[in-house]
Amino acid sequence: MKKRELGHLTDNVSLLGFGCMRLPQTAKGNIDEAEAFILFDKAYQQGVNYYDTAFPYHNGESEIILGKWLKTKDRSTLLIADKNPVWLLTKHDDFRTYLEQQLTKLQTTYVDYYLLHALDKERFAKLEEIDIFSALDEVKKAGLVRHIGFSFHDDYPTFVKILSSYKWDFCQIQLNYMDINHQAGLKGLRLAEKLGIPVIIMEPIKGGSLAHVPSEIRELFETKHPKASDASWALRWVASQENVLCVLSGMSTRNQVDDNLATFKDFKEMTDEENKIIMKASDYYRTRVQVPCTSCRYCMPCPHGVDIPVNFSYYNDAFIYDNPKKSSDRYYNWMDEGERSSACISCGECIPKCPQKIAIFDRMKDVTAYFSEHKPE
C-alpha cells in the first residue's frame, strides 16, 4: 500500500483511507457489524491504516462499530480520524465534552486526527465566539488528540479565512475531477500546500457518481486501460495531485474494497496522456449541463428564501450523472420547503444580478416540474 508523509506530520499515512460513512447495513438499516469487520480487515491486511468516522455517521453507530473493531488490533498500527459535531456546541466546554463521548465510543484514549466537522462561514463564526482555538490547544496538550484539522463545505474565500486562522496540522476538502472549482477546489489545495498544510480528500468519486460513467466516457477510458474501473480513474486523478496526504473512500462492499486496494496497492500517478483523457471526460460531462449556473451566488439572497444555485446544482447533477433519484432525494430531503424552486414567485429580482444572464424564474419552473415528476415514493 502506497503511504505518504507530508508537512510536519511524521505519520506514514496510507494513501487510501477507509471512510466509515457508508458501511454495509442490515435489512433494518443498522450497520452489519460482521460484514463491516470483514471490510475493515481486508483493507487493514493490505496496509490501509487510516480510518475516518464522525459523530453523526450512521446515527452515531459508526464510531461504536469502528471502536469495537479497533480493540481487535494493535492500536499503534492504526490512525483514527473523528470529527467534532460543531453545530451542537453552545459553549467552550462542549467541545471537550463531545470529544470525550467519542473517545468512549471508540474505546480509545486518543484520536490521531480530529476535525472540526463541516465548517462553513456561519459555523466558524460561532466557534470563534466560544474561543474554539484554546479548546483545540487544550485537548492536544492533554494528549486526547494528536493532530487538529477541519473538514470544509463552503466557498473559497471562507476557506482562505479558516485556513489562515490557526496553525492547523491538516485539513479535509471535497475534490474530484468534476469539482475542481467547487468549494475549496484546486485553488484551496494549492493554498494549503503553500502554507505547509497537508490535505485529506473526501468525495473523490463524488458520492459514487463517477463510479459508473456514461458509455462515451467508458470508451475513452478503455482506449488506455480496458480493465480499469471508472472509480479507479477518479481515485488516481485525486491521488496524483500534489499535497494530498490521503484519499478517503466510503466503501460499502467487498468488491469496492478489492477494487480500491488494487488501485492503491501498486499506485501509479497519472501520466499527461491520462490527464488529457480525464479532461475530455469532464468536458463531456459538462455538455450535459442544463442550466449554465456557476454557483457564484450573485443572485443571492433571494428575498423569498429560495436557494437558487443549489436548486440548479441538483437539477444539473440529475442530467450530468443520469441519476434523477439521487438528485430528487437531495431536493426533497436536503432543502427546506422554502428553499426549493417551488417556492419561487417569479418576482424577477434575481435576473439583473446574474452574470450568466440566466432567465432564473423560468428555469426555476423547469426545476420544479422535473422534481415533481421524479418525487421520491
Three-class SS state of 91: coil
Average pLDDT over every residue of 57-75: 97
**Are residues 221 and 326 located together in one domain of the fold?**
no
pLDDT score, position 200: 98
Number of domains in the chain: 2
| Predicted confidence (pLDDT) per residue in 223-256, tens digit | 999 999 999 999 999 999 999 999 999 999 999 9
With b meaning 16 or more CB within 10 Å and e meaning fewer, what string describes 170-201?
A: bbbbbbbbbbeebbbbeebbebbbeeebbbbb
| Predicted confidence (pLDDT) per residue in 156-184, tens digit | 999 999 999 999 999 999 999 999 998 99
Place of cell 500500500: 1
pLDDT score, position 207: 83
pLDDT score, position 284: 94
Helices 272-286 and 215-222: crossing angle, nearest 10°?
A: 170
Does some domain include residue 301? no
Residue 233 corresponds to which amino acid?
W
Average pLDDT over every residue of 327-338: 95
Q: In angstroms, rounded to a whole number, what is the distance separating the alpha carbons of residues 241 and 344?
A: 41
**Are residues 267 and 315 located together in one domain of the fold?**
no
Does some domain include residue 182? yes
Residue 1 above 90 pLDDT?
Answer: no
Does some domain include residue 293? no
CA 74 to chain centre: 28
pLDDT score, position 150: 98
pLDDT score, position 128: 97
Residue 313's nearest CA partner among 207, 190, 189 is 207
**Are residues 321 and 201 located together in one domain of the fold?**
no
Q: In angstroms, rounded to a whole number, what is the distance separating the alpha carbons of residues 61 and 266?
A: 33
**Are residues 73 and 221 located together in one domain of the fold?**
yes
130 and 88 in contact (C-beta within 8 Å)? no
| Predicted confidence (pLDDT) per residue in 98-122, tens digit | 999 999 999 999 999 999 999 999 9
**Are residues 45 and 139 located together in one domain of the fold?**
yes
Place of cell 459523530: 55
**Are residues 315 and 210 located together in one domain of the fold?**
no
Residue 355 above 90 pLDDT?
Answer: no
Does some domain include residue 295? no
Average pLDDT over every residue of 122-146: 97
Q: Which set of grid coordinates corresponds to residue 258? A: 478489492
Residue 96's nearest CA partner among 45, 33, 143, 163 is 143
H or E element that contains 19: strand 16-19
Residue 208 above 90 pLDDT?
Answer: no
Does some domain include residue 296? no
pLDDT score, position 356: 85
Three-class SS state of 123: helix
**Are residues 364 and 251 located together in one domain of the fold?**
no
Place of cell 450512521: 58
Average pLDDT over every residue of 213-219: 92
Q: Which domain holds residue 312?
A: 308-373
322/260: higher pLDDT: 260
What is the percent of the chain with per-residue pLDDT over 70, rounded to a whole number? 100
With b meaning 16 or more CB within 10 Å and e meaning fewer, what string describes 238-266?
A: bbbbebbbbbbbbbbeeebbebbbebbee
**Are residues 130 and 195 located together in one domain of the fold?**
yes
pLDDT score, position 24: 95
Does some domain include residue 212? yes
pLDDT score, position 8: 87
**pLDDT, mean over the chain:** 95
pLDDT score, position 297: 83
pLDDT score, position 295: 80
**Are residues 274 and 324 located together in one domain of the fold?**
no
Q: In angstroms, rounded to a whole number, what is the distance separating the alpha carbons of residues 187 and 159?
A: 10
Average pLDDT over every residue of 69-85: 98
Using the 3D structure, point to which of 234, 260, 280 is the last residue of a domain. 280
This prediction has a pTM of: 0.87
What is the percent of the chain with per-residue pLDDT over 90, rounded to a whole number? 89
Looking at residue 239, which CATH number applies to its domain? 3.20.20.100
pLDDT score, position 7: 84
